[in-house]
Structure 1
Amino acid sequence: MEPQVRMRDALAFFLVVSLSLLRRSSFALSHHDLQIVHAERRIDLASHIIKVFLTLKVENTGTSIASEVLLSFPPNQVGNLAVLKASAVVGKRKKKAYLSLDVKPKLPDGPNGAKYFSISLLNPLSMGESVALEVLYILTHSLEPFPAEISQSDSQLVYYRDSAVILSPYHIKHQTTFIKTPSTKVESYTRLEPTNHAGIELKYGPYDEQPPYSFSPIIVHFENNHPFAVVEELVRRVEISHWGSLQVTDCYKLIHAGARHKGVFSRVEYQSRPSLSGVSSFKNLLARLPPRVHSVYYRDEIGNISSSHLRLDSKKSELEIEPRYPLFGGWKATFVIGYGLPLEDFVFESPDGRRYLNFTFGCPLIETVVDKLIIKVILPEGSKDPSFVAPFSLQQRLETSYSYLDVVGRTVVVLEKENVVPEHNLPFQVYYKFNPIFMLAEPLMLVIKLLEKFQSVLEQIRVIRQLT
């Protein structure tokens, strides 16, 4: 009996290994069915949020139909990848259109830990057919300050590391990489033939006939005094009241993530030489709020901060804020921004009778990276069956919150996302069922409290009369 069991286990192990090798071999063969005829990559280093625009022309050179195109990223970039979008280019010149495509992670990983993402094509490619693709991906925390510490009067220099050629599982016939820097002050850069530097642009290539998984490391050392504003944590409370208001409270933990400040800070020098002293610091931030805001406040642990300016119009509201002190590299600030909004602008009724909140995700501070964003939507008491719809993946959980005059507590929908950039400022919806009868709960509780108070006063009067 035992030899039979061992034989069966061996066969099962052999079958698993064979299927795994077959899957990997078929996966590898599918790479060779496609080739990139032309690739152009443009890397924008103007701020601490790096935007990369990639144009690809992909051709099917195999005999089987291809329904997906793989993108490959080195492991050091995957953790900093905030946004990845792809679209197919249809038509030419003035009739050109862009059709959005689904992009999802793909397993297994490639050589040396390369991570795959799969672009699903709308129309599979037969032998000899080609498709033009536009890809946008955004990287955060990818600029390394060097030197790591600077004084108040120094400019900020940073490293950017990448590859002159595109990391791809496909053969690339022709490719070029363009790198745009914030200014012409480039300390050094890796020189590969052909390489050209003119003004604020570096050009690597063109390179022809690059085999799959080619990689040519480059380093660009340049000046970047753009504010490295990073919100380590943003907690937003959106409280819905069906009595006519929406109350929003944003709690910020902000840091300047650039080169750390060393030495003593001189406010006299900072104010007398603003163009030379503290060029990499920032002393104000701009928040874009929804239109028709009211009751706006801005405060920190000490109290209200008066150095803010609110500009209103029919389409948007802009709040310019100044922390109590300018922020240099490594310095932090914590503060709260709160405001009210009309309920009818953001809470609606769906055809199936449910209510839903339509609000904007993301951070209202412009050009800011949020390491962790937590949105807490506090539903009215008595709400049931909450659900949400968002244009990207989020972590979700439910909590219960109690406030003044609550009986059973309020359901709180908690949504979390890491590595948030301005491109995540898109609408999301929270659906829930609500019976209007629950709107009477708070007035009834208020009446009961008043009656109890009135009864207590009458009792005190009765006792006083007995004593007198």
Structure 2
Amino acid sequence: MPPSLATLTTSILLLSLLSAVSSSSLPQENGIRVVSAEKRVDLTGSIVKVFLTLKVENAADAASDASQVLVAFTPTEVEHLSIVKAMKVEGKRKKKAYTPLSVQALDLTTTPNGACLYSVQLSTPLKPGEATTLEVLYVLTHSQEPFPAEISQSESQLVHYRDSAVLLSPYNVMEQVTYIKMPSNRIESFTRVDPTGRAGTELKYGTYKNQMPYTYIPILLHYENNHPFAIVEELVCKVEISHWGNVQITEHYKLKHGGARHKGVFSRLEYQSRPSISGTSSFKKILARLPPRVHSVYYRDEIGNISSSHLRSDSHKTELEIEPRYPLFGGWHCTFTIGYGMPLQDFLFESDDGRRYINLTFGSPLLDTVVDDLTIKVVLPEGSKNPQPVVPFLVDHHLETSYSYLDVVGRTTVVLKKKNIVGEHNVPFQVHYEFNPIFMLAEPLMLISAVFLFFVSCIAYLHMDLSIAKSS
């Protein structure tokens, strides 16, 4: 049942009173208000992407310049929040210019309804009477809940999604509208908050005007979503750097289907005879986008090599389409390993201070997947010192020592860890380190020494007389 108008009005008034009581303790810019807000929610995949376009204004009677704009999230959204990006927009239409802005989470406990605030730092403070336009992107994972939780092989997958009809904001919102893009025309139900409209696969909430700070009107959507819910529970990526000209990548995956669990018996005959009906929510192919000029690509699991893969490459990218040994239904798991080599000259550079650095890509090459737990191990050449990772967002990192063939003191390894990874995290990162070229001679000298000692031993053995009897 959709909430009544009286209930919505009461909840809005209560939220307004709470915000008034707590406003003195919040780090707000007193004169900021949202002139217009447009919220677009993309539910067409397994990952929820939300795009906000905010026109904010510093009131003409404001006491000071505004250096930040606050964006609010509910506690549930923060649990599933993967990344937040913000940009300042200048110009119109084709002449638009975008300036990336820094976004930081604020540690506050006094906000109404437990709302969590993120601060968008403006590149140029807003003077009293000035306005600017911001675009904010945030990504939510594990936010679409399968309902029912179990389905048979021939059933479609239905999910729940919860949100607010209006924008949750610490400011007064003068005018706002919300658009929700659905994955299909099959929408079982959705909460109506007048004015609410539907056109095909898109829902529209609004336009709403003059909303008080921290207004929240919950909505519940129930719809069909058969997009593959591919979730990498754990990914361990090992990057081995050799100054002899190669970078070797080895990626170990633990993959699962995170959608509605499969119930009943799986019929391979039904799956192959009616592919458009049977197993519509399952998936049997995954696409990995690798760097260009990769070589020696392999794909295997515990049993051995898997031949059902296709590699396409050009000068700009390499795509590897892989097929697990069996299609994945809800709740099913599989593990596999992808490995490949890359030319060192494409990724190793030297900085002005003489230090070397390797330039790699963070995240996972698998498209449209969520990585719950990512570990990247960058194994530097033996003799490397003072490694320093440079990643454009917060990660956990530490150092350890790895051993390989002909190593004496071991190789310094930079270990990076991060949770809840999506495609927006696939950005370049660097590891800076010091390296003395003399260490490149260590392994050849060891091999030469070993061969020399072998021949010396052979010569000594041939010239030794080990007989007991005396020579006549």
Shared fold (TM-score, shorter chain, > 0.5): yes
C-alpha displacement at 1:464, in angstroms? 9.2
Q: Secondary structure at the match of 1:30?
A: coil
C-alpha displacement at 1:208, in angstroms? 1.1
8 A Cα contact 2:29 2:68, kept in partner = no
Identify the residue that residue 334 of structure 2 maps to in structure 1. 333
Identify the residue that residue 37 of structure 2 maps to in structure 1. 39
Identify the residue that residue 282 of structure 1 maps to in structure 2. 283
Identify the residue that residue 246 of structure 1 maps to in structure 2. 247
C-alpha displacement at 1:123, in angstroms? 2.1
Per-residue CA distance 1:201-229 (angstroms, 9 max, x = gap): 00111111111111100010010000001
Structure 2 CA distance, aligned partners of 1:467 and 1:214?
102
C-alpha displacement at 1:457, in angstroms? 5.1
Identify the residue that residue 363 of structure 1 maps to in structure 2. 364
Matched, 1:63 2:63: yes
Structure 2 CA distance, aligned partners of 1:216 and 1:326?
40
Once the two structures are superposed, the pairs formed by residues 96-135 of structure 1 within 5 Å of their partners are 96-109=96-109, 110-135=111-136
8 A Cα contact 1:89 1:133, kept in partner = yes
Identify the residue that residue 440 of structure 2 maps to in structure 1. 439
Once the two structures are superposed, the pairs formed by residues 20-419 of structure 1 within 5 Å of their partners are 26-28=24-26, 30=28, 32-61=30-59, 62-109=62-109, 110-419=111-420
C-alpha displacement at 1:254, in angstroms? 0.5
Provide the aligned C-alpha RMSD in A. 1.7
8 A Cα contact 1:31 1:169, kept in partner = no
* Structure 2 alignment gaps of length 5 or more: 1-21
Q: Which stretch shows the higher mean deviation, 110-119 or 124-133?
A: 124-133
C-alpha displacement at 1:171, in angstroms? 1.0
Amino acid at match of 1:33: G
Identify the residue that residue 4 of structure 1 maps to in structure 2. none
Amino acid at match of 2:272: Q
Structure 1 CA distance, aligned partners of 2:181 and 2:247?
43
Amino acid at match of 2:32: L
Structure 2 CA distance, aligned partners of 1:432 and 1:86?
32
Q: Secondary structure at the match of 1:333?
A: strand
Amino acid at match of 2:47: I
Amino acid at match of 2:128: M
Identify the residue that residue 19 of structure 2 maps to in structure 1. none
Q: Which stretch shows the higher mean deviation, 323-332 or 447-456?
A: 447-456
* Structure 1 alignment gaps of length 5 or more: 1-23
8 A Cα contact 2:360 2:430, kept in partner = yes
Q: Percent identity?
A: 64
Structure 2 length normalisation: TM-score?
0.91
Per-residue CA distance 1:289-320 (angstroms, 9 max, x = gap): 11111111110000111111111211111111
8 A Cα contact 1:288 1:364, kept in partner = yes
Per-residue CA distance 1:171-199 (angstroms, 9 max, x = gap): 11111110000111101001111111120
CA distance 1:29–1:113, shift in 2 (3 Å): closer
8 A Cα contact 2:28 2:70, kept in partner = no
Structure 1 length normalisation: TM-score?
0.92
Structure 1 CA distance, aligned partners of 2:273 and 2:31?
64
Q: Secondary structure at the match of 2:446?
A: helix
Structure 2 CA distance, aligned partners of 1:197 and 1:464?
99
Identify the residue that residue 15 of structure 2 maps to in structure 1. none
CA distance 1:333–1:458, shift in 2 (3 Å): farther
Q: Secondary structure at the match of 2:28?
A: helix
Structure 2 CA distance, aligned partners of 1:32 and 1:348?
48
Equivalenced residues, count? 445
